[in-house]
Amino acid sequence: PPPTPPPPPSPHPPHPNCSSPQCDALWGPGGCPDLYSIPADLIRPVMTNATPAGGVRARVIAPGFEGTQAYHALYLPSEWSSDPLHTATYPIIVEYMGNGPWSDGFGDVSTGRPEDSNLGWGMADPAGTKYIWISMPFLTSDLGPKTEISTYWWGCPTVTANANCGAAYNITPTVSYLHAALQQAVASYKGDPSRVVITGWSRGAIATGAIGLYNDATTALFKAFIPYSHLDGDCGWVDQDNRSALEARWARLGGRPVLYLGECAVATEGGPAWLASLGLNGSAATQHMEFMTTGFANHNDAWVLRNSTARGYMRAWLARVLA
């Protein structure tokens, strides 16, 4: 038979490997590699306008937001059934996307739109089973019927809030949408309100605290947290100069389980360093917090679409904490 042709050249330069004790332990002295050097074994399903059903990722609008431009992507596990005799309920993954449009020149990109998020798809084994997966939107400030998805940060009267909007800032639409979408998932799609995890990449990782721990009522929604590549307050947007608000959010964590993942040593070294700067290392609030490298060099949530030590651990960790 003719020889297998070589793969086409990558359209972007290879990402530099990164070396850290954890990366070197996984991969040897070369450290964590470019994720594009590892073939994907999962393909995230595309959001469609179909009616929600088992194995379908559908475009859905949370109650109360029908007159706006807001929506989320709802995936129901393949074993889900609308049959009233099918009484099983399902844990819920709430995911927030990174900022966009964004790219780094190495093929890592983000649109900032909920339907392009990947983390939730890699959390079940096998993919597409066990969990309801909600790719949640960030929203602009309240613009009435013009309220829409913010692809860059959130809460300002523009979809790309790349500058502080001062007194115009309003987080209420984003938080209200979260509550409404979760209530809908429980009431209409057999979600289990006692087993909800919040996750996110980059901006979305910051949001696991900035939104997920926003107030007591919101904090109570979540049993566990999986931020990927950032923690609340370590850069960016919300309450950047309001230390008391930041400390109040972290206090609300209250010892809930957290698995902080990051490329290279972002989580394994950066996470403890950030907590130390807040005086939280070893605190009651963070006593059940773990730190792990994804095993890749990229700032890119597509790492979950590849077989890896981190993906396997994350799946087992999530199953355990939501049991």
pLDDT tens per residue across span 256-305:
999 999 999 999 999 999 999 999 988 999 999 999 999 999 999 999 99
In sequence order, the 6+-apart residues with CB closer than 8 A to the CB of 260 are 226, 227, 228, 231, 267, 271, 289, 290, 291, 292
6 has a pLDDT exceeding 80: no
pLDDT for the residue numbered 4: 65
Asked if 121 and 44 touch (Cβ cutoff 8 Å), the reply is yes
Query: Which pair of tokens denotes residue 230?
Result: 């950032």
Asked if 15 and 108 touch (Cβ cutoff 8 Å), the reply is yes
Mean pLDDT in residue range 233-244: 78
pTM (two decimals): 0.95
CA distance 17 to 35: 10
* pLDDT tens-digit map of 103-133: 998 999 999 999 999 999 999 999 999 999 9
CA distance 204 to 59: 19
Mean pLDDT in residue range 250-254: 96
Mean pLDDT in residue range 130-139: 98
Mean pLDDT in residue range 52-59: 98
Peptide bond into 39 cis (omega under 30): no
Q: Whole-number mean pLDDT of the chain? A: 94
3-state class (DSSP) for residue 192: strand
70: amino acid identity, one letter: A
Mean pLDDT in residue range 71-95: 97
CA distance 136 to 144: 19
32 has a pLDDT exceeding 70: yes
Bridge pairing between strands 289-293 and 132-136: unpaired
Mean pLDDT in residue range 129-155: 96
Reported as a pLDDT band with limits 50, 70 and 90, residue 140 is very high
| b/e sequence 179-193, b meaning 16+ C-beta within 10 Å | ebbbbbbbeebbbbb
